[in-house]
Amino acid sequence: MRKQIAAANWKMNLTLEQGEKLLDDIIAKPHELAEHQQAVFAVPFPYLTMAQQKIASKQNVYIAAQNCSNKKSGAYTGETSLEMLQSLGISVVVIGHSERREYFNENNQLLAEKVNICLEYNATPIFCCGEALNIREAGTQNAYVEKQLEESLFHLSAEQLQKVVIAYEPIWAIGTGKTASSGQAQEMHAHLRSMLAGKYGNDVANNITILYGGSVKGSNAKELFSQPDVDGGLVGGASLNADEFVTIINSLK
């Protein structure tokens, strides 16, 4: 069975003390991860070491960086390299979140470079793709997301691609309280998987974890995750609440 993942994206939230308490609260609540399930916490850079220490004894729980540099090292003030992350024991990195694309002008070519460097350092990229409201309303979302995958992932070999997690984000459903219906989520996830199958074959496509990233909450997670091509969620606001996120973890199939 494909890996089923509940990934928390804290974004630029919480003090160190608040982050410690949140992790403590989540760890203390009853939840169990099967062998094919994972919980991932993408925390702000200053909290990576703290978070790693909190989950050190936990099975199938990982700490992720929210971003990385496309450069190995050098005069890039304010950037964080894969080598730095690797030295902290970080093996998962969120790449190309819609906020990075929108606010920091990250394009598909840059994200291809970030994916490459993650794989070079044996880190798992959670590669984000998705469309804004105007694209959805124009009915061109499939072509838009196809281009994101083609330009950032389709240079990879089949072996490399199977080390990537894809997160589909309907940008119009992030932080707005709107959520794509489970049917809309399944439709796009199925389309993404069919794209992967067209390029790499069914065996590879069926081995790729595709997460849904649009206002996942405790109240809708089970229905969303029950869809055949939805393999968990990349969770924003609800991941800042221990009860909500534990409910989401327990909704994995």
Q: How far is CA 190 from CA 10, 125, 250, in A?
A: 27, 20, 23
* CA proximity to 190, closest of 206, 179, 204, 170: 206
Helix runs in 89-162, H state only: 98-104, 108-120, 133-138, 141-152, 158-161
Does the annotation count 36 as an active-site position? no
In this structure, what are the phi and psi dihedrals at residue 41, rounded to the nearest 5 degrees? Answer: -120, 110
C-alpha count within 13 angstroms, C-beta hemisphere, residue 90: 30
The active-site residue, picked from 99, 131, 169, 244, is: 169
* CA proximity to 135, closest of 101, 165, 166: 101
Coil, helix or strand at residue 11 = coil
Q: What does the alpha-carbon distance between residue 19 and residue 55 come to, in Å, rounded to a whole number?
A: 13
Residues 6+ apart with CB under 8 A from 162: 204, 207, 208
Angle at 129 between CA 124 and CA 133, to 5 degrees: 155
The active-site residue, picked from 97, 106, 131, 189, is: 97
Q: What does the alpha-carbon distance between residue 49 and residue 21 come to, in Å, rounded to a whole number?
A: 15
Residues with a known catalytic role = 97, 169
